[in-house]
Amino acid sequence: MSGFEVAGVVLGALPLVVKAVEAYITFIRDWGKIPSELKSIHRHLTTERSKFYNVCDQLLCDVVQQKDIEAMLKDPFGPLWQAEDTNKRIRRRLWNSYEPFSATVREIHDALNTIQIKLNIHISDDGRVKWVDKSHMSREFRKFLCRLDRKDYLDALALISTGVDNLESLARLSVQLEPKRRTRSAVRVINILRNLSSSLYRAFRCSMLCNDQHDITLGLSPRLIDICYDDGDEKILEGTKFIMAISFDSARDVNLPESTKSWKELEIRANMAPTATASPSVSPPTGCSNVKTEPKKAKSVTFFMPWKSQEPDVKSVVASITRQVGINVAFEVADLRPLNLCATLMAPCSSLSVCYGHMIDSECSSHFFKVFHRAASSQPRSRWSIITLREVLDHEPGLQPLLFLEEKIRLALAISSSVLQLSKTPWLPGPLRKEDVHFFDRDGQVLYSHPFLSASQATSPTPQAQDNQASAAERFALFSLGILLLEIILGCALDKFLEPGEDRLTIEGENAKMIRDSIAAHRLLRTRVALISPGYKVVVERCLACAPTQGFEEESFRENVYKGVVAELETILEHTKLS
């Protein structure tokens, strides 16, 4: 049993032992004796039972649903205490205190068991208690109860009392520190995902072995990996999945209109490389982007980009990996060759559980990527089209606007968390634009819950005339994100809300538009957003008020953005679900 399951057993056993002691007290009174020693034991166990009940209540709060907390406290021997997910959540909450917590609970269990044996109390696994009945009590046991000395139980009682006090301290401090620990672990996951996203970009380029143009998308998701205290980077890496949708034309006619293109969705899973023995004479490559280099409801991201793939020499890639790293792996070298992704797209879909091959980052030997067809899209789709977020916010004819509060906040969370993960990486080198975020019209159905991010910035050169504007936009990337979050909650582009005086403001300089947007945004925050969601209003204000002194490439800045924007949006989304 896990430490948390043992806690349930202790929580259930304490009141049963108390009940048995109460029965013995009644027997002694019936015999005309004063049960002072048993009453002292009873009082001690009753107090510790109440304290331990409070410890369990505190740990379960916000870990399981409210309706389940009362059920678990009333039925400590029930199946809810054996739920693996609950145990994982308790482990995350206790963090590095989980092992001491488990050891202390087992000590309390052993001490309580000692008392049960001495008092001839038997508790079954299903929570039934049995003690010596008065009518079947032997003369020896009757003498034992009448002459019972509390000193014989002092060690066990002291162990229980000290243990419960320690559990109280561990639980209280763990709950208090949980928000800060979650932030630290979230930033750690984000840093790892940033490196992994860059690695995926390089691996993807090596897998495009044709001269055709493809539209590449990488799916957006607000999910972040919840990790425990002892989870290593390998656990985070292997729990990461990316969803990619790629267009192709089996006739290889790149001039066909977009509506005739076929699409396939792929699931990309990160995996650690097999155990390898490094050659002592060869040092690791300096260009390897080890996931440890950048110290957190895993975030997947989808991009759209016109891609003309390059054609590297596969043999030279494999030779480069072997030469630079100098390792002996457990499988054949042929298995390490990069997947020809273009050929995979053309091939008929087989079983969804079959891995179609590996995408390999030649600059890093610590991991590789497995490619699977996504179950939700096992066959090519020829009637998909792209709808950008700009078109949705501009209320283009024929498009359903963003209507529901939950879908708006979910989209805002997906975008803000993905910016945190991907900004200043090869996927998103510049500021996020409304045309970068898009959705698929899948046979006439548009799902705003499945956004994608265009990675056209990764391959499109920036014209020299736009360099200054791009530089200014990068310095105010968080401001741009705030404007986008505002437009999402309003369901409409900011320009639609400009008042006559605002659109005629004469402002000079490179920040003229930003100043006009700021004036309109703060007015809308006061008059509209505050009525929709006060918490969301605060999030947008934080983005708009950010000074251009730091960027997403700095870890301290990413931590502040996570705490002030992403974590707050996660909380708002949970409250929205409840409402």
Per-residue pLDDT tens digits for 421-453:
998 888 888 888 899 999 988 877 888 989 998
Residue 371 sits in the same domain as residue 400: no
Residue 473 within a domain: yes
CA terminus-to-terminus distance, the chain: 37
- What are the phi and psi torsion angles at 119 (to 5°)? -95, 5
Distance CA 53, CA 569 (A): 33
Of 364, 382, 400, which closes a domain?
Answer: 382
pLDDT at 202 over 70: yes
Per-residue pLDDT tens digits for 175-189:
999 999 999 999 999
CA atoms within 13 A on the CB side of 118: 21
Residue 195 sits in the same domain as residue 341: yes
For residue 408, what pLDDT is reported? 96
Residue 348 sits in the same domain as residue 493: no
For residue 523, what pLDDT is reported? 94
3 — pLDDT class (breaks 50, 70, 90): confident
Of 148, 173, 206, which closes a domain?
Answer: 148
For residue 364, what pLDDT is reported? 83
Mean pLDDT value of segment 309-313: 45
Which of 357, 329, 327, 328 has the alpha carbon at shortest distance from 341? Answer: 357
Better-predicted residue by pLDDT, 130 or 222: 130
Domain count, the chain: 3
Read off the pTM.
0.79
For residue 505, what pLDDT is reported? 65
Residue 330 sits in the same domain as residue 417: no
Residue 572 sits in the same domain as residue 426: yes
Residue 528 sits in the same domain as residue 492: yes
Residue 135 sits in the same domain as residue 203: no
For residue 200, what pLDDT is reported? 92
Residue 505 within a domain: yes
Residue 454 within a domain: no
For residue 240, what pLDDT is reported? 87
Better-predicted residue by pLDDT, 431 or 34: 431
| Range with the largest mean pLDDT of 213-227, 458-472, 484-498 | 484-498
Residue 14 sits in the same domain as residue 93: yes
Residue 521 within a domain: yes
Residue 522 sits in the same domain as residue 472: yes
CATH number at residue 497: 1.10.510
Of 123, 148, 173, which closes a domain?
Answer: 148
Better-predicted residue by pLDDT, 162 or 297: 162
Per-residue pLDDT tens digits for 499-524:
877 666 666 666 778 888 899 999 99
Residue 25 within a domain: yes
Residue 37 within a domain: yes
Residue 163 within a domain: no
Per-residue pLDDT tens digits for 313-356:
434 433 444 444 444 443 443 355 678 888 877 777 666 667 88
Residue 309 sits in the same domain as residue 397: no
Residue 179 within a domain: no
pLDDT at 236 over 90: no
**Tokens standing for 505?**
């403001």
Residue 375 sits in the same domain as residue 425: no
Better-predicted residue by pLDDT, 92 or 237: 92
For residue 109, what pLDDT is reported? 96
For residue 128, what pLDDT is reported? 84
Distance CA 44, CA 457 (A): 69
569 — pLDDT class (breaks 50, 70, 90): very high
For residue 381, what pLDDT is reported? 58
For residue 222, what pLDDT is reported? 72
Residue 399 sits in the same domain as residue 281: no
Domain carrying residue 106 = 3-148
How buried is residue 312: exposed, middle or buried, by Cβ count under 10 Å (0-12/13-18/19+)? middle
- Whether 55 and 75 have beta carbons less than 8 Å apart is answered as no
